[in-house]
Each structure stands twice: as structure tokens, then as C-alpha cells.
């Protein structure tokens, strides 16, 4: 039985969303890393939208077979991108002008990682662009869920406190950085 366009859209939206929540630990940590440096909702959503645009490009190019990244290179680079954002949060107290460029670059890398994950499932051949679009919309909604949750649980209450960086940003970013460093080492030396 052939699925309707609506069913395909729903399935790929759900697939994109669940690829972030609850399955995308590295994606969740990257988004939290982006959030921590500046908890202004508009700024964080802009940064995450740039990230989504970038990973949509490489996901599309990889899903069509135009590029074929090696997961042995991409997976450690994804972990390094999380480590970079965590370190940036510790050593900078505001967003630098080049942050959107860095996030775009990291989005390109993460998109290739998404493509490796979606390769196992496949995209609908008759509804290729639609399934790709709805997968990305699901990912974006997953990111927005993370951002809004972090905002409501952390930033809304504590974001303006003078101790916010010292008690929240630095320790949480340090934890994210330690996890990312572990993943980097694991993905370089122990995953084939």
C-alpha cells in the first residue's frame, strides 16, 4: 500500500524530530551550547536557523549522492564542533561576529552526519524533496523544543543574574566539553 503525501510528510517530520529528541544526544548538546552563550531567544533561534540551513544543504547533497562523506571523518568532527562551542562559552562572554559563520560551517558537517543516519531509513523516491523538507522541519522543531525548554527552565529565571555565567554557563559548558572530548577520542580511535 502506497503512503499518501500527508503520511509521508508526517512520518519524515516525526523522524526528524525524534532524530533530535530523544535520540540526538550530540545534537542536543550542540544546541544547548549555542543557547548557553546568549540566552536571548531571538538570537538563539537565528543561530539555530543558520545551523538548520547549513545542515539542510549537506543533507540534501549527501542524500542525492552528490557528495559521499566518510563517517570516520564526519563523526569526530561533529564531536569537535560540540567541544568548540563549549570552549567558546567558557572563554567568551558574548557572541562574536564570526559565530554565525562557524555555526554555518558546523551545520554543514552535522548535515553529513544526518545523511549517514537517514541513509539507513532512506528518503521516499516519489516524494524526495518533500520528505527531505519535512525531515528538516522536524529537526528544526526539535531544536526549538530544546531552546524553549532551556529558556523556560534556565534563562527565564536565572539569565539576568550576575552569577549566571559562573554558576550555570561555565559548569554546564565544561560538562558538555568533557562529553564532547570523550566522544572525539572515542570516534577517532575506537569507532571504525
Tell me the pLDDT tens digit for each residue of 68-103: 888 899 999 999 999 999 999 999 877 777 889 999
Q: What pLDDT, on the 0 to 100 scale, is given for residue 123? A: 66
Contact 111, 56 (CB under 8 A): yes
Tell me the pLDDT tens digit for each residue of 1-57: 566 778 888 988 998 899 889 888 999 999 999 999 887 888 888 898 899 899 889
Domain boundaries, the chain: 5-189
Q: Would you place residue 170 in the very low, low, confident or very high pLDDT band (cuts 50, 70, 90)? A: very high
Cell digits of residue 38: 546568549
> What percent of the chain lies above the pLDDT cut of 90?
49
Q: Which region holds residue 122: left if phi is over 0, alpha if psi is between -120 and 50, else beta? A: left
Contact 19, 114 (CB under 8 A): yes
CA distances from 11 to 5, 16, 154, 186 (A): 10, 9, 32, 32
Buried residues in 117-143 as b, exposed as e (16+ CB within 10 A)? ebeeeebbeebeeebbbbbbbbbbbbb
Amino acid at each position: 500500500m502506497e503512503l499518501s503525501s500527508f503520511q509521508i510528510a508526517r512520518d519524515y517530520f516525526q523522524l526528524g524530530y525524534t532524530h533530535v529528541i530523544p535520540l540526538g544526544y550530540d545534537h542536543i548538546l550542540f544546541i544547548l551550547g549555542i543557547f548557553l552563550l546568549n540566552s536571548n531567544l531571538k538570537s538563539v533561534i537565528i543561530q539555530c536557523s543558520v545551523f538548520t540551513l547549513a545542515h539542510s544543504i549537506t543533507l540534501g547533497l549527501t542524500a542525492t549522492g552528490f557528495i559521499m562523506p566518510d563517517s570516520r571523518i564526519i563523526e569526530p568532527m561533529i564531536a569537535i564542533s560540540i567541544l568548540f562551542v563549549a570552549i567558546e562559552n567558557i572563554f567568551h562572554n558574548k557572541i562574536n561576529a564570526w559565530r554565525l559563520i562557524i555555526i554555518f560551517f558546523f551545520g554543514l558537517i552535522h548535515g553529513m552526519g544526518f545523511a549517514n543516519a537517514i541513509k539507513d531509513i532512506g528518503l521516499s523516491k516519489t516524494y524526495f524533496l518533500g520528505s527531505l523538507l519535512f525531515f528538516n522541519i522536524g529537526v528544526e522543531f526539535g531544536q526549538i523544543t530544546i531552546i524553549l525548554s532551556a529558556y523556560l527552565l534556565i534563562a527565564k529565571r536565572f539569565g539576568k543574574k550576575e552569577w549566571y555565567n559562573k554558576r550555570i554557563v561555565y559548569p554546564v559548558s565544561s560538562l558538555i566539553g568533557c562529553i564532547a572530548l570523550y566522544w572525539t577520542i572515542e570516534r577517532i580511535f575506537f569507532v571504525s
